[in-house]
Amino acid sequence: MIKILIVEDEKPIADLLDMSLTAAGYRCECLHDGMAAARALEENRYDLVLLDVMLPGVDGFALMEWLAPTDTPAIFITARGAVSDRIKGLKLGADDYIVKPFEIAELLARVESVLRRCHKTDSRLTLDDVVVDTQSHTVTKGGVPVSLTAKEYSLLLLFLQNKNAALFRETIYERVWGGDFMGDSRTVDLHVQRLRKKLDWGDRITAVYKVGYRLEVEE
Ligand code: CA
């Protein structure tokens, strides 16, 4: 999942950004001052940072110093009319800017376009040495292609999108086979067994008593 850091000291604006981007399927973290943002940038990896210019502590421009070495794209949030801010931001290496007050649709469009430009779109899912490319529908393990049936592929996606969640056999059946579960748990069990074998994920995909299965991932 794409992870976005929002650095904005005006709480209502930060909340609005958080809500809109979360609803659009991004994972967001909000910080309200520059120092906290600088620390977070040292400790964590983000796919994109939304950066307000005027911040307590370290301002948005200065934060570019922390950002630049990480190669993380940034979008500045600037006040209306502050043209010099926008130019300075872009010169410092920001990928785009949004002017307050902004429309949600514009925000989402700019975020999407920067992520696309920086190849941060969510087309690859990985775990261990397994890489799933959701655009080409291919799976590799240790760089070697793994041949999966359509159902096994859907099952793998379902697990990767629900890491550490105990998935009921009924849910798995409905999501992968797309019909009502008629108590045919053998179909689910068989496919899980095959997927485990093909990916050597005997320890990863575990049985959950009376429920179904879970993909175990250390966070
Ligand atoms: Ca501000």
Give the pair of three-digit tokens for residue 73. 């794209």
pTM as predicted: 0.57
Examine the domain organization and report whether 56 and 147 are in the same domain. Answer: no
- For residue 5, pLDDT over 90 is answered with yes
Examine the domain organization and report whether 96 and 163 are in the same domain. Answer: no
Beta-bridge partners for 76: 51, 97
- Among residues 88, 117, 146, which one ends one of the domains? 117
CATH of the domain at 21: 3.40.50.2300
Domain of residue 196 covers 124-215
Q: What is the pLDDT of residue 193?
A: 97
CA 13 to centroid of ligand 1, rounded, Å: 9
CA 19 to centroid of ligand 1, rounded, Å: 18
Residues above pLDDT 90, as percent of the chain: 55
CA 51 to centroid of ligand 1, rounded, Å: 9
205 vs 107: CA distance, rounded Å: 38
Examine the domain organization and report whether 16 and 86 are in the same domain. Answer: yes
- For residue 186, pLDDT over 70 is answered with yes
Examine the domain organization and report whether 106 and 37 are in the same domain. Answer: yes
144-146 β-sheet, strand order: 124-127, 130-133, 138-141, 144-146
CA 59 to centroid of ligand 1, rounded, Å: 9
**Span of 99-113, 114-128, 162-176 with lowest mean pLDDT:** 114-128
CA 9 to centroid of ligand 1, rounded, Å: 5
pLDDT in tens, 33-70: 999 999 999 999 999 999 999 899 899 999 998 898 88
CA 121 to centroid of ligand 1, rounded, Å: 28
What is the pLDDT of the chain when averaged over all its residues? Answer: 89
Examine the domain organization and report whether 131 and 107 are in the same domain. Answer: no
- Among residues 95, 117, 139, which one ends one of the domains? 117
